[in-house]
Amino acid sequence: MLLIYTYDHVVINPNISIFSDQGQMNGMPDISFSDHNLLPIRDKILHGQRLDYADGCTLFHSTDLIGKARLADYIRRKRHGKTAYFVYNQHINYTNICKNHCLFCAFSREKEEQGAFTLSIEDVKAQLDQRAREPIREIHMVGGLNASLPFDYYIRLIETVKERRPDAAVKAFTAVEIDYFSEISGLSVSEVIVQLKQAGLSMMPGGGAEVLNQRVRQQLFPRKIGKERWLEIVKTVHENGLTSNATMLYGHIETIGERVDHLISLRNLQDETGGFSAFIPLAFHSENTKLSHLPRTTAFDDLTTIAVARLMLDNFDHIKGYWVMIGEPLAQLSLSFGADDLDGTIIEEKITHMAGARTAKGLSRDQMVNLIQSAGFEPVERDSFYHPIENVS
Ligand code: V47
Ligand code: SF4
């Protein structure tokens, strides 16, 4: 049963389900919006026009959640139909020792602090070998900025993963780490990327972007590279023939305008390079951080952020509903709010769990399939480049 909202009243139409294809207008369900501010945005979307900063702010501020879902779902279905992707992946965090001390981070430690760890190459081999029988397609590897590790360690890390897991893509190191490798090796960013690529690096994950804004950076992560450097490094990665993802850490001190600016900066770079593969909104978790007084993000905000990302990032193919951060129930819903990918099985996630996430540490392939199917979508297991996996073992 669908509640059809008009400006004045609510009409209950028992014949149309929320996301049915009936009553379509140019492919978009022909319904009214409870927020009339969404109408000009709907018209732009129907005419294939790009949304601007003001539209992004209007979308974030609108309380018409179902209206936002409809707009995002319209674009999502044009690109991906009912397909929802996931990947069989493994996370490896090679060290949590980090000199940056970002206030939102519960993962990092000082060298001598309890809980600090650094994996030796042998430890990494052991972590990979523990899962040797599983059909893992992607190794996602990131860590802190640890002054005791030489540049050669990172090359050996990648070589080790490639040697143990020749069929998996190595998605490793954020722009923040690449900047640090350049600093410790004395090599240019391009030279660092070339060497990592030669060792077997396949693509770059989207972390470290946080909110690309000087005010937020100054308050929460003053030691981390800034907006221009993050964008410059990602651009160099793309120019060297590697794709990357992009993230946005939301739900702390950032304003709506700063979120929209962030999305537009990513969209502008994507216009230049075409090198972004997926965008992943990251819901801030405050436990065990210096910002522990901040509440969790709301379901409304999580779903809105995914929908707005889908609508603003008109040149990104993929938007992830990252189940680790928003939970499995919302990840299912995110598929109707513009997301087309739930990321992966993961197996052991640390960064969000150290900050209080109560979600599972990993999901089985069957659980991923079930999540997607029971939300009314068609699961497709993919590799890191969104090629469907044939002959799933
Ligand atoms: O870079 C750190 C963020 C990122 C917290 O590219 C936090 O496919 C929430 O980047 N609460 C790591 N977030 C995760 C990440 C990622 C995840 C999944 C897929 C991909 C991809 C990338 O998590 C960090 C930082 O931005 N983060 N602390 C926290 N307390
Ligand atoms: Fe270090 Fe990354 Fe944590 Fe910042 S978010 S303190 S750079 S590990």
The CATH number that applies at residue 308 is: 3.20.20.70
Q: Could you tell me the two tokens for 349?
A: 């996630």
Q: Which of 12, 32, 31 minimizes the C-alpha distance to 23?
A: 31
- How far is residue 76's CA from residue 67's CA, in Å, rounded to a whole number? 14
pLDDT at residue number 32: 78
Beta carbon of 249 within 6 Å of any ligand 1 atom: yes
Dihedral, 247, 86, 378, 375 alpha carbons, nearest 10: -60
Q: Is residue 51 part of a domain?
A: no
Give the count of domains, the chain: 1
Q: What is the pLDDT of residue 391?
A: 58
Q: Which atom of ligand 1 has the smallest separation from the CA of 357?
A: 11
In angstroms, the CA 225 to CA 99 distance is 12
216 in any annotated domain: yes
Cβ pair 94, 143 in contact under 8 A: yes
Question: Which segments of the chain have a pLDDT < 50?
Answer: 1-23, 393
Report the distance separating Cα 233 and Cα 189, nearest Å.
7
Q: Which amino acid is at 236?
A: T
Ligand 2 first shell, C-beta below 6 A: 98, 100-102, 105, 107-108, 144-145, 176, 221, 224
Q: Which atom of ligand 2 lies closest to the CA of 96?
A: 8
For position 143, what pLDDT does the model report? 98
Phi then psi for 369, rounded to 5 degrees? Answer: -60, -45
Is the residue at 233 inside a domain? Answer: yes
Cα(163) to centroid of ligand 2, in Å?
A: 28
Q: 314 is in which domain, residue-wise?
A: 83-391
- Cα–Cα distance, 276 to 231 (Å, whole number): 12
d(C-alpha 82, C-alpha 243), whole Å: 25
Does 180 fall in a domain? Answer: yes
Instruction: State if pTM tops 0.85.
Output: yes
Q: Is residue 296 part of a domain?
A: yes
Question: For residue 54, is it within any domain?
Answer: no
Is residue 373 a part of any domain in this protein? yes
Q: Is 173 left (phi over 0), alpha (psi -120 to 50) or beta?
A: left
Ligand 1 site, residue 355, Cβ cutoff 6 A: yes
3-state secondary structure of 29: strand
pLDDT at 30: 60
Residue 215 token pair: 């005010």
pLDDT for 224 equals: 98
For residue 95, give the nearest of 197, 177, 24 by alpha carbon: 177
Nearest to 338 by CA among 325, 319, 324: 319
Residue of 126, 137, 35, 104 lying closest to 290 (CA atoms): 104
**Does 345 reside within a domain?**
yes
Ligand 1 and 176: CB distance under 6 A = no
> Which residues lie closer than 8 Å to 384 by C-beta, 6 or more apart?
87, 137, 138, 169, 171, 202, 203
